[in-house]
Amino acid sequence: MQSFKDKVVWITGASSGIGEAIAMAFANEGAKLVLTARREEELQRVKKRTGLPETSVLVLPMDVTQFEKAKPAAEKVIAHFGRIDIMVHNAGVSQRSYINDTDLDVYQMLMNVNFYSTVAITKAILPYMIQQKSGHFIVISSVAGKIGTIMRSGYNASKHALQGFYDSLRAEGYKDNIKVTTICPGYIRTNISLNALNENGSKFGKMDANQEKGIAPEECAARILEAVKNDKKEIYIGGMKEVAAIYLKRFFPSFLFDQIRKNIPE
């Protein structure tokens, strides 16, 4: 079981929710942190909350959809810490709109945030990990990366894409001791539904009932770190309903499709 003490951990979407909880969990293990999100003031708040020494936390504000900034950002991390041990791809946005109503621009935005941004950052830091012959990617996918549900078509697609890309990276990186742990959360008590995109790209602005009753982000983060310590390839985090859906998709897909269809609001 590996230790995270003095490991350099870069976290995107670190200003709130699961990302903030992951930052705190790694800080408690003695890791060094790189915190990325768009809101610098929130990153500074998280930095202060960690209680880590000034030299152990690099605040690196960035809009992850500005792909050209990925390589310079990686260079800043290397200049500051000299290495990158763990990359946590957590930045993401959800969706609440029907396919027939949704603008194509919304789908492009979902893919840019949830998928292409992770590819851009991964490609920027992968050469350093190959050179140091070690590295670990923690990819926050979703139960939606395994099954498709209503009003989340673009979100589902982006998370399915993450699954395929990082399964490939896990295989390709094996010879260089580069690991991948894919996380598939179900309902976690965050603001993801409030910030979800509607059919024209505006914020949905409503808290889903299931989300409100979800697992605390701190519990989610603890289970993520435990999975990484034990070199798990993929884990599911959520209530019985969400996790059961994954197994229903595998063994009883027709039954699951019928259940999803029946949940369409009239």
Domain CATH number, residue 89: 3.40.50.720
E-strand stretches of 43-110:
57-59, 86-89
Name residue 126's amino acid.
Answer: L
Q: Are 56 and 256 in contact (CB under 8 A)?
A: no
Domain that holds residue 141: 8-262
Q: At what angle do helices 104-111 and 153-173 cross, to 10 degrees?
A: 30
Distance, CA of 18 to chain centre: 8
Residue 232 lies in a domain: yes
The C-alpha atoms of residue 209 and residue 237 are separated, in whole angstroms, by 18
Q: Enumerate residue ranges in the chain where pLDDT < 50.
A: 266
Quick one: 72 exposed, middle or buried, by C-beta within 10 A (0-12, 13-18, 19+)?
exposed
Q: For the chain, what is the domain count? A: 1
- Spatial CB neighbours of 224, under 8 Å, sequence gap ≥ 6: 22, 25, 138, 181, 183, 235, 237
215-248 pLDDT tens trace: 999 999 999 999 999 999 999 998 888 888 888 8
Residue 164 lies in a domain: yes
Residue 32 lies in a domain: yes
As beta bridge partners, residue 9 has: 33, 86
Identify whether 155 is a catalytic site residue.
yes
Residue 1 lies in a domain: no
The C-alpha atoms of residue 194 and residue 207 are separated, in whole angstroms, by 5
**Tokens 């992951």 — which residue?**
22
Instruction: Determine which one of 107, 155, 166, 187 is catalytic.
Output: 155
Residue 138 lies in a domain: yes
- Spatial CB neighbours of 160, under 8 Å, sequence gap ≥ 6: 145, 146
Residue 3 lies in a domain: no
Global pTM reads: 0.94
Residue 153 lies in a domain: yes
Copy the structure tokens of residue 3: 């230790």
